[in-house]
């Protein structure tokens, strides 16, 4: 059988192999609007008849018509938040098409898509922790939702602030409070200390009957919608093992 040279195989598809010593070569090119001709500044190692790709030439995107609007639906977990989406197509040269019309959903979970925000200060006094954020946490933050706090621990004792907490109040979009016994005072914040609204909920009770069916009660509404068929609701129980009780908290999707 003939010997196959892998880097020459592109000839079978109309390509022209180049030596690796040609790597890094470049030149300029110009053309006149309305004409099909392109003139290059130097010949380099181009060969008559081969194709040339000129980046960022021509229309901003090969697709000049906006895509159709997206069809959006909420997952099994539903709420009352409205979220809007648009689609933009892009080509392999980085061009972007016009944006599509808006597709939206009006029953998304209240904390769907929330991102973590940096904590600017945190303090505990008389059993209440006050958390201030550098940027708005979420416009829908309210008492009863849960806040996931991470990143404390650089100073011994500050780890008490890490965890999933039920909000007692949300005086503004950059401040929330939650209950925690004690008078620890101020914690030391850093770039790693953040908080985000979460679908995780603290568990107050859990039991299992003789058939193995688990019954879980959460401290606040877990914002989930039960569905047994098509797209069944999935519940994730974290920070425990099958043989361990109590379970700490769950997150639903």
Same domain, 205 and 182: no
Q: Tell me whether residue 3 is in a domain.
A: no
Same domain, 159 and 176: yes
Q: What is the pLDDT of residue 1?
A: 43
- The secondary structure of the chain as a DSSP string is -PPP-GGGGGGGGT-----GGGTT----EEE-TT---EEES--TT--TT-----TT-SSS-S--SPPPPPP----SS--SEEEEE----B-TTS-BPPPPPPEEEEEE-TTTT---EEEEEEEEETTEEEEEESS---TT--TT-EEEEE---SSTTGGGG-EEEEEEEEEETTEEEEE-SS--EEPPP-TT-EEEEESEEEEEEEEE-TT--EEEEESS--------SSS---EEEES--TT--S--EEEE-
Question: What residue numbers bound the domain in which 230 lies?
Answer: 201-252
Same domain, 181 and 209: no
Residue where one domain finishes, among candidates 198, 215, 243:
198
Same domain, 186 and 239: no
More confident residue, 90 or 84: 84
CATH number of residue 156's parent domain? 2.40.10
Same domain, 144 and 215: no
Same domain, 171 and 242: no
* pLDDT 10s digits, 148-207: 899 998 888 899 999 888 899 999 989 999 999 999 999 999 989 999 887 777 777 877
Q: Tell me whether residue 127 is in a domain.
A: yes
Q: Tell me whether residue 28 is in a domain.
A: no
Same domain, 179 and 246: no
Q: What is the pLDDT of residue 174?
A: 93
Q: Tell me whether residue 175 is in a domain.
A: yes
> In the chain, how many domains are there?
2
Q: What is the pLDDT of residue 95?
A: 72
Q: Tell me whether residue 53 is in a domain.
A: no
Same domain, 222 and 210: yes
Q: Tell me whether residue 54 is in a domain.
A: no
Same domain, 124 and 182: yes
Q: Tell me whether residue 52 is in a domain.
A: no
**Rounded to 5°, angle at Cα 161 from 115 and 155:** 110
Same domain, 190 and 206: no
Q: What is the pLDDT of residue 61?
A: 59
Residue where one domain finishes, among candidates 152, 172, 198:
198
* pLDDT 10s digits, 194-247: 998 877 777 778 777 777 777 888 776 665 666 666 656 667 777 665 555 544
Q: Tell me whether residue 219 is in a domain.
A: yes
Residue where one domain finishes, among candidates 198, 221, 244:
198
Same domain, 145 and 182: yes
More confident residue, 122 or 52: 122
- Kindly report the pTM of this predicted structure: 0.49
């Amino acid at each position: 059988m003939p010997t196959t040279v892998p880097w020459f195989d592109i000839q079978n598809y109309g390509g022209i192999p180049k030596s690796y010593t040609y790597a890094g070569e470049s030149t300029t090119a110009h053309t006149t609007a309305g004409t099909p001709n392109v003139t290059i500044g130097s010949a380099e190692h181009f060969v008559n008849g081969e194709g040339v790709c000129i980046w960022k030439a021509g229309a901003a995107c090969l697709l000049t018509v906006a895509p159709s609007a997206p069809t959006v639906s909420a997952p099994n977990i539903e709420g009352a938040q409205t979220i809007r989406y648009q689609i933009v197509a892009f080509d392999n040269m980085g061009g972007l098409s016009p944006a599509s019309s808006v597709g939206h959903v009006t029953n998304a979970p209240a904390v769907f898509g929330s991102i973590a925000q940096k904590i600017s200060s945190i303090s505990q006094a008389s059993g209440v922790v006050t958390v201030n954020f550098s940027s708005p946490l979420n416009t829908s933050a309210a008492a009863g939702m849960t806040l996931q706090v991470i990143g404390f621990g650089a100073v011994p004792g500050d780890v008490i602030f890490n965890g999933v907490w039920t909000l007692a109040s949300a005086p503004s979009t950059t401040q929330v409070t939650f209950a925690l016994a004690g008078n620890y005072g101020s914690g030391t914040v850093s770039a790693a200390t953040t908080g985000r609204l979460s679908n995780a909920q603290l568990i107050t009770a859990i039991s299992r009957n003789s058939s193995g069916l688990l019954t879980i009660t959460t401290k606040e509404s877990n914002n989930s919608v039960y569905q047994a068929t098509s797209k069944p609701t999935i519940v994730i129980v974290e920070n425990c093992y099958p043989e361990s009780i109590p379970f700490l908290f769950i997150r639903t999707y």
